[in-house]
């Protein structure tokens, strides 16, 4: 695979190149090490592509997982508590046990939740999205933002297929032409 295009949202790519150049080289290296053609293992059931071999999002995601874990990138999960009281939203920066205490102190029902990112290293998060394209905005505006606000990351990277590759996957609702950093 290769990086065909990128979108540097709020100068995210430039931040990585200045502050974590080695991390950017790892990302480039992992992308270039993946043989997407070897991931054409999904047999289409669509009428227009019946029995055609397509890129398997599951296989591509597994390749990224295998390669990134070799470089000590790992999944990160943050547990937290939420409530229906809008005024208690300020608890997001607190530790989970303190969030729950503050919500209960206001006689509200705490609801356990969590946020997870595919890979994280040196305050850089990566989401690999080769399957459910409807989740791209969620990754960018919820996952990356929550980890940033929670002071867990400085920047997030979203790795996505280009339109040309996406059209050879199973059909989905829309696509994004580029890679968000």
* pLDDT attached to residue 133: 74
Q: Which domain holds residue 49?
A: 9-75+118-166
Q: How does DSSP classify residue 110? A: -
* pLDDT attached to residue 18: 95
* pLDDT attached to residue 165: 65
* pLDDT attached to residue 32: 93
* pLDDT attached to residue 139: 86
Write the DSSP assignment of 122-162 as a string of letters. Answer: TTEEEEE-SS-GGGHHHIIIIIIHHHHHTTS-SEEEEE---
> Is 96 inside any structural domain?
no
* pLDDT attached to residue 167: 53
Q: What is the pTM of this model?
A: 0.80
Based on the structure, what is the number of domains in the chain?
1
Pick the closest to residue 53 from 143, 148, 169, 163 (CA basis). 169
> Is 84 inside any structural domain?
no
* pLDDT attached to residue 180: 47
Q: How far apart are CA 177 and CA 49, in angstroms?
A: 22
> Is 3 inside any structural domain?
no
> Is 178 inside any structural domain?
no
CATH of the domain at 64: 3.40.91.20
Q: What is the CA radius of gyration of the chain?
A: 19
* pLDDT attached to residue 130: 82
Reported as half-sphere exposure (CB side, CA atoms, 13 A), residue 153 has a value of 29
> Is 30 inside any structural domain?
yes
> Is 90 inside any structural domain?
no
> Is 66 inside any structural domain?
yes
How many angstroms separate the Cα of 180 from the Cα of each of 9, 43, 48, 94, 155?
7, 29, 31, 29, 11
Which helix (DSSP H) or strand (DSSP E) does residue 170 occupy? none
> Is 153 inside any structural domain?
yes
* pLDDT attached to residue 86: 84
Q: pLDDT tens digits for the chain (181 residues)?
A: 888 888 888 888 999 999 999 999 999 999 999 998 899 998 888 888 888 888 898 999 999 999 999 999 999 998 989 898 888 877 877 889 999 999 999 999 999 999 899 999 999 999 998 877 778 888 888 888 888 888 899 999 999 887 666 555 544 333 333 444 4
By three-state DSSP, how is residue 81 classified? strand
């Amino acid at each position: 695979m290769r990086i065909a295009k990128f979108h540097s949202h709020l100068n995210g790519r430039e931040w990585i190149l200045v502050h974590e150049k080695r991390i950017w080289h790892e990302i480039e290296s992992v992308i270039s090490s993946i043989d997407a053609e070897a991931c054409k293992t999904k047999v289409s059931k669509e009428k227009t592509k019946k029995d055609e071999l397509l890129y398997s999002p599951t296989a591509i995601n597994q390749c990224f997982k295998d390669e990134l874990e070799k470089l000590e990138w790992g999944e990160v999960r943050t547990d937290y508590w939420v409530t229906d009281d809008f005024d208690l939203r300020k608890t997001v920066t607190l530790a989970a046990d303190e969030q729950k205490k503050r919500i209960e102190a206001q006689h509200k029902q705490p609801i356990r939740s969590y946020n997870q990112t595919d890979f994280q290293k040196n305050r850089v998060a990566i989401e690999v999205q080769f399957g459910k394209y409807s989740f791209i905005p969620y990754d960018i505006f919820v996952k990356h933002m929550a980890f940033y606000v929670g002071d867990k990351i400085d920047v997030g990277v979203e790795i996505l297929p280009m339109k040309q590759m996406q059209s050879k996957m199973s059909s989905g609702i829309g696509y994004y032409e580029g890679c968000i950093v």
